[in-house]
Amino acid sequence: MIQIKGLSFLYNDSKEPALNNINLQIGEGEFVGIVGPTGAGKSTLALCLNGVIPHFLHGEFYGEVKVDGKDTVENDCARIAYSVGSVFQDPEAQIVSTRVEDEIAFGLENLNIPRIEIAARIKESLEMTGISDLRDYSTTQLSGGQKQRVAIASAIALRPKILVLDEPTSELDPKGSLDIFNTLQKLNKEYSITIVVIEQKIQLLTEYCSRLVVMEKGSVLLDGPTRNVLANQEILQKIGVNSSPVTRLAYMLKKEGLYQGEFPINVEEAYLVVSKVLSEKRR
């Protein structure tokens, strides 16, 4: 679904490349989380997937990015928008309309979709994101979490196969953040939309994503199934990427020589791990 080969990018006004020889393959229906410290190039990578780079933001672009079979250099943003939906960090800055319906219609109108079709798509994307009750709201009365779900609905109205989100929960409280990830999970499971999400909240990422990509200084440092990536605790801690408390506990037990095995990603799994540690010692 996404193929990135030898991608490097240098912004016009900077000396250091923002991305440095990225190679990444993401298959259909994957739910991928991207983590890394600030300045790792995560946002730049997201902008390469939706074609904003190189069509709107310019710089030196090397390598190849293909989304849904489309080369992002040969296809403009509008054509890529049919394949890749985008959601950004700031709920305030990505909503252009004063009514929810108009906001979802915005992308469809830009791509000249007929009026009757737009009405059907609005209904559909409101249902898919579980916010049909917000249909007649004014966008100014919504909470941050609701605004972000409207932004997701607006992105999926074009029926993209891929959804790219750049820190969608950073301005939300725990409840709002959870709502976003539940919505993403639904889109992924029920509609097999491929999800790529950049996120700082590691507990959410480890519980929802099947695959993690860790970036640092413009490169991909680690990439694999969530558990396998979490097994590299030394590297993660060295570059300043946090892990869930239960994952860190398993790592501490490992260092004490009390545990060998997979890293838990939630409290239930950690319960099994600690039980095992206790019972093995008892024998």
Q: Which of positions 173-192 make contact with another protein (CB under 8 A)?
A: 173-176
Under the binding rule (CB under 8 A), the answer on residue 97 touching another protein is yes
DSSP-assigned beta bridge partners for residue 162: 84, 194
3-state SS, residue 169: coil
The shares of helix, strand and coil residues in the chain, as percent rounded to the nearest 5, are 45, 20, 35
Of residues 189 and 202, the one with the C-beta less far from another protein: 202
Under the binding rule (CB under 8 A), the answer on residue 63 touching another protein is no
If you count them, how many residues does the chain have? Answer: 283
Under the binding rule (CB under 8 A), the answer on residue 172 touching another protein is yes
C-alpha torsion 74→27→201→236, nearest 10: -100
Under the binding rule (CB under 8 A), the answer on residue 219 touching another protein is no
Of residues 17 and 189, the one with the C-beta less far from another protein: 17
Write out the binding residues for another protein, residues 112-141 only, by CB under 8 A: 112-115, 118-119, 122, 138, 140
| Minimum separation from the CB atom of position 246 to another protein (A) | 5
| Minimum separation from the CB atom of position 178 to another protein (A) | 8
Pinpoint the alpha helices (H) of 129-260: 144-156, 174-191, 202-208, 226-230, 233-239, 245-255
Q: Which of 171, 236, 158 has its CA nearest to residue 199? A: 171
Contacting range for another protein; rule: CB under 8 A; set: 18-26, 60-68, 101-109, 182-190: 101-109
Under the binding rule (CB under 8 A), the answer on residue 144 touching another protein is yes
